[in-house]
Copies of this chain bind each other. A is one copy, B any other.
């Protein structure tokens, strides 16, 4: 028997003892994180599947993994011999987990989840779905926790103070704003459970998960106290003193359960159901009143202050230097035939690591050559790794965490001659990028109103792309943050100065190539007229766009002006940081069209 089969057998034994017919094991952690520490990788442990996304469902005699197309190949290999079937998400023939459970289980069967790993909202939704299928949700057992011998420890790395030099606002000032918001909402206490929100609020950073510099913790604020629940070993005396000076006391990570369980009669507790795990939620005594709302830190964090914005501008210059060196190197080396998706990824990281205050990448690089570029969440593996040739498109989506800011950029470059269709596609995507970059809009505008600007050139020709146009970006925090976005879907958040977003239209031709052009932008004031106040975007990212791929006949004079002005800025801003040879290369790639 393989190790996975042994684990499944043991799990099923425990399920039988508790009268459980099925267990759902997700990819998340107790903080609804995008990236999770090894300690929380229960789904990997029980299934052997190591992809970043996927949910396993185990019944007493069957099991399935639900994952998306980028992992179909990997999942099939890793599940071999486990007895776990692969359910391919996105195919019309694939049943949902709940539909499948309804089919294989008798009515009124118990379906178990670990309440730590599901948010309150997720539990409410799952419960509704199960009830509609005559199944019963049981959110009480931590089976994997009992079975997992030699489980990796929770990360014990020290957290560090994130200086006001970078954050621009002292912790006590942030807490004061929060307390005003709590008064306004008439709540006594506010539970903060999202790791990037806690890091922002207390000006701390950590190394607990990949790509996002956060530490595993909970937090609570009331009118007088602010508490950080974190493994005390992670807090040096120096950091503890700093926190204390800002009015923050430290308690052990798991003490939050006791803390919540002892809340006073009649207290009003503010929490975000989408981010608070169900186990913690259940500890709140019935004599308290839960006020469910979007976490106030979520919104405050999205509006960057001048220090954060200036740090981001600095980080963009460093990232631009690294990218200049990388693309110069790529241009020189491409004819060698020795470059691959994985090798260029490593090289790009090397160029970035040379820059001051570099800490990490902000997400796993997407280096998609030719048809791999059409797979939106492609991640090159040793098995898929393509060798680059001097032809067609390379799509490169990457980003970095510098202590002063987070970057995220996609460039699609011609590695050799392009067809007319390729140039047309590239140019239509660029037209959308420019239209959004140039947008001017009144106070109160939502991202969903602007989204069409990035798509119109494609829609006019019966084309489209299947992802959002813009996501929020954190400041030395998660490269994906809310609440702001620019998407076809409605999002009631209005865009306000200081928000940072991506501008990333694309076009994907399955089996051929993918194109995406992505810069980060921030919202700034434009002008006030008799018709009101208008905003516009400032483009933050500094890196040339490949003019070799452009069909100039498709660009208007205004669009050419935008591109020329953008390239002028790129050159002017990066020039002082480059060698003469690098400057010459950059000048050539930024010359006016």
Interface residues of A (CB under 8 A from B): 439-442, 444-446, 448-453, 456, 458-460, 462-464, 488, 490, 492, 526-529, 531-532, 534, 556
Contact = CB atoms under 8 A, between A and B. Distances in A.
A495 to B, nearest CB: 13
Contacts of A446: 490
Nearest to A532: B464
Contacts of A442: 459, 464
Contact of A452 (B453, B458, B534): B453
A439 B453 CA distance: 12
A534 B439 CA distance: 24
A360 to B, nearest CB: 36
Nearest to A527: B462
Contacts of A527: 462
Contacts of A450: 452
B459 A441 contact: yes
B492 A490 contact: yes
> What is the predominant secondary structure among interface residues of chain A facing chain B?
mixed
Nearest to A460: B440
Contact of A464 (B451, B460, B531): B531
A448 B531 contact: no
Contacts of A490: 446, 448, 490, 492
Contacts of A526: 462
Nearest to A529: B462
23 contacts: A439-B459, A440-B459, A440-B462, A441-B452, A441-B459, A442-B459, A442-B464, A444-B488, A448-B449, A448-B490, A449-B488, A452-B453, A453-B456, A458-B531, A459-B534, A462-B527, A462-B529, A462-B531, A462-B534, A463-B529, A464-B531, A490-B490, A490-B492
A459 B456 CA distance: 17
Contact of A451 (B444, B449, B462, B532): B449
Pick the 7 closest A-B CB pairs, nearest first.
A462-B529, A464-B531, A490-B490, A463-B531, A462-B527, A449-B452, A440-B459
Residue from the set A449, A488, A492, A556 with the largest chain B CB neighbour count within 10 Å:
A449
Given A462-B529, A464-B531, A490-B492, 11 more contacts: A439-B459, A442-B459, A442-B464, A444-B488, A445-B488, A448-B490, A449-B452, A449-B488, A452-B452, A462-B528, A462-B531
A494 to B, nearest CB: 11
Contacts of A444: 488
Nearest to A441: B459
A448 B452 CA distance: 10
A422 to B, nearest CB: 16
A440 B556 CA distance: 20
A445 B460 CA distance: 14
A540 B81 CA distance: 64
Nearest to A450: B452
Contacts of A534: 459, 462
Nearest to A446: B490
A464 to B, nearest CB: 5
A440 B463 CA distance: 10
Interface centre among A446, A452, A490, A529 (most CB of B within 10 A): A452
Contacts of A464: 442, 531-532
Contacts of A452: 441, 449-450, 452-453
A488 B443 CA distance: 12
A556 B492 CA distance: 34
A46 to B, nearest CB: 37
Nearest to A535: B459
A463 to B, nearest CB: 5
A529 B452 CA distance: 19
Contacts of A439: 459
Contacts of A449: 448-449, 451-452, 488
A516 to B, nearest CB: 15
Nearest to A528: B462
A529 B453 CA distance: 20
A194 B107 CA distance: 43
A458 to B, nearest CB: 8
Max chain B CB contacts within 10 Å: which of A446, A490, A531? A531
Nearest to A534: B462
A257 to B, nearest CB: 36
A460 B451 CA distance: 16
A281 B446 CA distance: 37
A532 to B, nearest CB: 6
Contacts of A448: 448-449, 490
A238 B451 CA distance: 55
